[in-house]
Amino acid sequence: MAKAKTYYFCQECGYQSSSWLGRCPECGKFGTFAEEVVKMESGKRKVESGKMQSLPKRIQDVTYSETKRIPTHCGEFDRVLGGGIVPGSLLLLGGEPGIGKSTLLLQTALAIHDRKLLYVSGEESEQQIKMRADRIGFSTEQCYVVSETVTQRIFEHVDAVQPDILVVDSIQTISTEDIDSPAGSVSQIRQCTTEFQHYAKTTGVPVLLIGHITKDGTLAGPKVMEHIVDAVLQFEGDRNYGYRILRALKNRFGSTAEIGIFEMLGSGLREVPNPSEFLLSQRDETLSGAAVAATLEGARPMFIEVQSLVSSAVYGTPQRNANGFDMRRLSMLLAVLEKRCGFKLGAKDVFLNIAGGLRVNDPAIDLAVACAILSSNVDIPISPRIAFAAELGLSGEVRPVARVEQRVAEADRLGFEKIFVSKYNLRELDKKRYHIEVVPASVIEEAFRALFA
Ligand code: TYD
Ligand code: MG
């Protein structure tokens, strides 16, 4: 007999309680509990005794064979996955609505022409999927599509098609008959994910799930999912710009340092193997207030233009505004410039923008930010053939950054003439190997004099 039972779930973190709570003891949010009806087969969860699946072994006795990954035929995607899709793995692709998750997975599905693939969509009809596929263009004859939202029905299709890879478009639209609460609720998401995990682990067929993320950037509801799946990939970017970044937030089979970069075109996503060339293409030599930062995104060098505008404050309180850069860090850098370089920025409006709508967390961008602000303040342009790679300390010292060699080598390759680095990074560099001039600085004043004196 199936018995119906009601539980209360925190819609933020998935915490489960048998009674309603005003405040979630797990994540501390207020008013997030909602009632969900969970129908459970009685005794389903009981472990049958005497039927031990596996016995503990000594670790040296455990054997495994290196499973062969399935290449996606997309270099950027493979790079993030760590060399292809691992058989039997469960993958979650998260991202804001409209960022291109369906496009990425459909395109990948169409590109893997040597495997049989089932693309299940709970969001779009088969005609809509076909229209999208026509935009992208394809030649595969082994991609099956179906519009379906109930897991039991999906597994029937799976039995009929016997795919090598299963793609499910949006876990939030899928529901299981075992649970009465609506699709997208925490209990549904958890249960459906578990079912797909079970399928993946027992058959060895990899399952790729799409999940939406909420405005604050967390995967909607399913913090619970993140523990179940083998890899969490995030697809992000500014919708007003064409490029998209694919990142691994968790990956049991590869590094989380790799990122993949794509550009959204009318005909689907294009791989961008050389992001710096892409980000630096539109640059006017004569403008003040711009500086190029040699940053690393994951393990990849990315050269990004920092733009700044410093002007006299019209109103009493000066405005500070940053796009793609941490506001508190900007305030700190302004205080350092004020104190160490003697600029009266206290009465100025300061606007900062990272070109291309990127968000940068690499501290190596500091020097470029400071120099862009100074350049705008004195209204002297910095040559677009100069790059910066250093962090700034509170006393105005130019601090060393990680993997400086990689940054300098990339700057050299891209044809930059000069790169400013910390003096303390110098000994890691074999300057003879590069054509580029490496300019060391130990305090911000030195960099400032070298640039504007
Ligand atoms: P979509 O993959 O539907 O986003 P998600 O599944 O993450 O919600 O993509 C949405 C946007 O991508 C949509 O606004 C149109 C755009 N797009 C293109 O620019 N070119 C294309 O070839 C395709 C298929 C979509
Ligand atoms: Mg979609």
Distance between Cα 266 and ligand 1 center (Å):
9
Distance between Cα 120 and ligand 1 center (Å):
17
Spelled out in words, what is the top-level CATH class assigned to the domain 69-273? Answer: alpha beta
Q: Is the CB of 267 under 6 A from ligand 1?
A: yes
CA 50 to chain centre: 45
Q: Poorest-confidence range of 131-135, 178-182, 211-215, 384-388?
A: 211-215
Q: Given the CA of residue 267, which atom of ligand 1 is nearest to it?
A: 22
* Encoded tokens for 243: 């490029």
**Among 229, 264, 368, CA closest to 308:** 368
Of 115-129, 215-229, 270-284, which one has max mean pLDDT?
Answer: 115-129
Mean pLDDT of 84-108: 92
Name residue, tokens 């998750």. 101
Q: Given the CA of residue 99, which atom of ligand 1 is nearest to it?
A: 7
* Helix H or strand E segment including 143: strand 143-147
Distance between Cα 169 and ligand 2 center (Å):
7
Q: What is the pLDDT of residues 224-254, one digit of tens each?
A: 788 889 999 989 887 777 788 898 889 998 8
Is residue 318 very low, low, confident or very high in pLDDT (cuts 50, 70, 90)?
A: confident
Phi, psi of 261 (to 5 degrees): -120, 135
Nearest ligand by distance to the CA of 213: 1
Please check whether residue 353 is in contact with residue 240, taking contact to mean a CB–CB distance below 8 angstroms.
Answer: no
Q: What percent of the chain has pLDDT over 70?
A: 91
Q: What is the DSSP secondary-structure string of 102-118?
A: HHHHHHHHHH-TTS-EE
Q: What is the pLDDT of residues 3-17, one digit of tens each?
A: 667 888 887 777 888
Of 116-120, 251-255, 408-412, which one has max mean pLDDT?
Answer: 116-120
Closest-CA residue, ligand 1 atom 10, reads 98
Residue 221 has pLDDT above 70, yes or no: no
Q: Is the CB of 129 under 6 A from ligand 1?
A: no
**What number of other Cβ atoms are within 10 A of residue 218's Cβ?**
14
pLDDT (0 to 100) of residue 47: 44
Q: What is the pLDDT of residues 33-54, one digit of tens each?
A: 888 877 655 444 444 454 456 7
Q: What is the pLDDT of residues 370-402, one digit of tens each?
A: 999 999 999 999 988 899 999 999 999 999 999
Please check whether residue 95 is in contact with residue 214, taking contact to mean a CB–CB distance below 8 angstroms.
Answer: no
Q: Is the CB of 135 under 6 A from ligand 1?
A: yes
Q: What is the DSSP secondary-structure string of 286-302?
A: T-SSEEEEEEEETTEEE
CA distance 154 to 171: 12
Is residue 57 very low, low, confident or very high in pLDDT (cuts 50, 70, 90)?
A: confident
Cα diameter, the chain = 84
Count of residues in the chain: 453
Q: What percent of the chain has pLDDT over 90?
A: 47
Nearest ligand by distance to the CA of 96: 1
Closest-CA residue, ligand 1 atom 20, reads 266
Beta strand pairing status for 437-441 and 418-422?
parallel
**What number of other Cβ atoms are within 10 A of residue 204's Cβ?**
13
Question: Could you tell me which residues come within 8 angstroms of residue 450 by beta carbon, excluding any fewer than 6 positions away?
Answer: 420, 439, 441
CA distance 46 to 131: 47
CA distance 373 to 325: 13
Distance between Cα 103 and ligand 1 center (Å):
6
CA distance 361 to 355: 14
Cα 79 to Cα 162, 251, 256, 339, distances in angstroms: 27, 12, 10, 44
Residue 362 has pLDDT above 60, yes or no: yes
Distance between Cα 108 and ligand 1 center (Å):
14
pLDDT (0 to 100) of residue 39: 66
Q: Given the CA of residue 107, which atom of ligand 1 is nearest to it?
A: 24
pLDDT (0 to 100) of residue 226: 84
CA distance 445 to 406: 26
pLDDT (0 to 100) of residue 184: 83
Question: Could you tell me which residues come within 8 angstroms of residue 446 by beta carbon, excluding any fewer than 6 positions away?
Answer: 398
pLDDT (0 to 100) of residue 42: 46
Cα 22 to Cα 30, 101, 227, distances in angstroms: 6, 35, 25
Question: Could you tell me which residues come within 8 angstroms of residue 313 by beta carbon, excluding any fewer than 6 positions away?
Answer: 319, 347, 348, 349
pLDDT (0 to 100) of residue 249: 87
Edge to edge, the sheet with strand 386-389 lists: 320-323, 348-354, 300-312, 290-297, 386-389, 418-422, 437-441
CA 302 to chain centre: 15
pLDDT (0 to 100) of residue 32: 83
Cα 20 to Cα 11, 12, 34, 78, 179, distances in angstroms: 12, 15, 8, 44, 19
Mean pLDDT across the chain, nearest whole number? Answer: 86
Q: Is the CB of 173 under 6 A from ligand 1?
A: no
Cα 24 to Cα 35, 53, 166, 434, distances in angstroms: 14, 37, 35, 56
**Among 292, 288, 264, 266, CA closest to 410:** 292
CA 128 to chain centre: 27
Half-sphere exposure of 45 (CA within 13 A, CB side): 4
pLDDT (0 to 100) of residue 273: 82
DSSP tag of 253? T
Spelled out in words, what is the top-level CATH class assigned to the domain 278-452? Answer: alpha beta
pLDDT (0 to 100) of residue 45: 44
Distance between Cα 99 and ligand 1 center (Å):
6
pLDDT (0 to 100) of residue 277: 67
Which has more confidence, 421 or 297? 421
Cα 318 to Cα 197, 232, 347, distances in angstroms: 54, 41, 6
DSSP tag of 218? S
Distance between Cα 241 and ligand 1 center (Å):
13
Q: Poorest-confidence range of 106-115, 151-160, 234-243, 438-447?
A: 234-243
Residue 62 has pLDDT above 90, yes or no: no
* Encoded tokens for 291: 């500086």
Distant-in-sequence contacts of 10-18, Cβ < 8 A, 24+ apart: 10/186, 11/185, 11/186, 11/221, 12/218, 12/221, 12/223, 13/223, 13/224, 14/186, 14/190, 14/221, 14/222, 14/223, 14/224, 16/186, 16/187
pLDDT (0 to 100) of residue 44: 47
**Among 40, 42, 16, CA closest to 178:** 40
Residue 178 has pLDDT above 60, yes or no: yes
